[in-house]
Amino acid sequence: MHLGRSYGRTVLMARASHRTRWMVLGAAVLVVAVIALLVPRIAIVIYPRVTDLSDQIEITVDIGTAGSAPRAGAVRGREGVVVIEAQEQVPVQGRQADPSAYATGIVTFVNRSGASATIPIGTEVMTASGARYVTTAQASIAGAVDAIVRAPIRARFPGDAGNAGRLEVNRVLGPLSTTITALNEAPITGGGVGTNPRVLDEDRARAREIAIDRLRTEGIRALRAEANPDDVLVEQTIGTVLLRDECDAQTGATASALTCRVQGRVSAGFYARSEVGAAARAAWRPVAPAGFFIPRGQIAVGEPRVVGSPAGTMRLSVPMATPAVAEFDVNAVRDNARGRLPETTRRDLRARLNLPADPIVRLEPSWIPWAWRVDVALDLNAPPR
């Protein structure tokens, strides 16, 4: 019985000892993890000296034909094509001839004597070529030198001979000729022209031009709507081919309005912005000045500019830029910071590395006086003021 109890007690003790070892091991792991998390460190952010490098890279985009491979050294582009119809209506500006129609306009009278005067209906003015006009309303001019007043006029005789250009009227006839002068600030028109509209070649040309412009605008809008978000439409490659062109009135017809309808094929070349950017990055080989290095992933690609669009291709000039960073020894920075006060480290690093601004030196956690673990990062942006 004694042995049995002793055996049983021994077994129980052995089991307790095994559990204790696992508990101790777990506690040790937890302590190591906590210590690792709480190990103090020095975080350093350096604002290095930076110089900017830039250049222009020329990239060729091959529009080619669908399914074909781009030419050697070129980026694959594409051509978009849409068929558009458009119409435009314009008021007819032409008028039928009417030999009995009088030219009309406005004349400006200028006081040269300084005395007030009444300009009666029928006062006659004349151009240097002899065309005569009479006022059709009474006017009064103030008593001051260079005072002016305007009055309506009509040609004395009907027909197109009464039409006159701007400033052609230059003389007053009759009693007022010594005290006032006259001039027309706008053309005098309407002589020999009736009020009934008549389609002119100019009306057809104007309506057709506006309709084609609308067709082109609608075509570009449709091409952009079909494009991918990464696609860029090159305006220098936009082409318009008319398939149908008709107006609803011929030259000489009587009509107050004219409608022209056009149908055309609008095309344009596209390139993928991402593919051009990748080709430009691959082609550019910037060389850093002595004592500088070019960090990875910092090359910037600007907006391409079309410098040529020969048949089937586009030549793009792509602006490139990257910072070049002054070289320094990261291990030396760590050695300089270990076990030192942040302010001392900050001052020494700026002087040693010839930095344009004080680096940021921060102890984590902040309540410790110094640390041995050092993390270093670069900030290529302008330092905070």
pLDDT of residue 8: 31
Q: Span 88-114, mean pLDDT?
A: 92
Burial bucket for residue 88 (CB in 10 Å: 0-12, 13-18, 19+): buried
For residue 5, what pLDDT is reported? 31
- Phi, psi dihedral angles at 330 (to 5 degrees): -65, -40
Res 304: pLDDT: 95
Residue 131 has pLDDT above 80, yes or no: yes
Lowest mean pLDDT among 10-14, 16-20, 146-150, 255-259: 10-14
Structure-model confidence comparison of residues 12 and 271, the more confident one = 271
Residue 32's pLDDT is what? 45
Neighbours of 185 (CB within 10 A): 12
Q: How much is the mean pLDDT over the chain?
A: 87
Model confidence, pTM = 0.61
Mean pLDDT value across residues 258-276: 95
- Cis peptide upstream of residue 319 (ω within 30 degrees of 0): no
Q: How does residue 60 score in pLDDT terms, banded at 50, 70 and 90? A: very high
* Lowest mean pLDDT, pick from 4-13, 98-107, 274-283: 4-13
pLDDT for 28: 52
pLDDT band at 308 (very low <50, low <70, confident <90, very high): confident
- In CATH, the architecture of 98-196 is Beta Barrel (2.40)
Which residues does residue 189 pair with via DSSP β-bridges, in sequence order? 104
Residue (of 63, 357, 108) closest to 233 by Cα position: 63
Instruction: Report the alpha-carbon angle 334-336-342, nearest 5.
Output: 95
At 27, is the pLDDT very low, low, confident or very high (cuts 50, 70, 90)?
low
Q: How confident is the model at residue 187 (pLDDT cuts 50, 70, 90)?
A: very high
pLDDT band at 7 (very low <50, low <70, confident <90, very high): very low
236-252 average pLDDT score = 93
Q: What is the pLDDT of residue 69?
A: 65
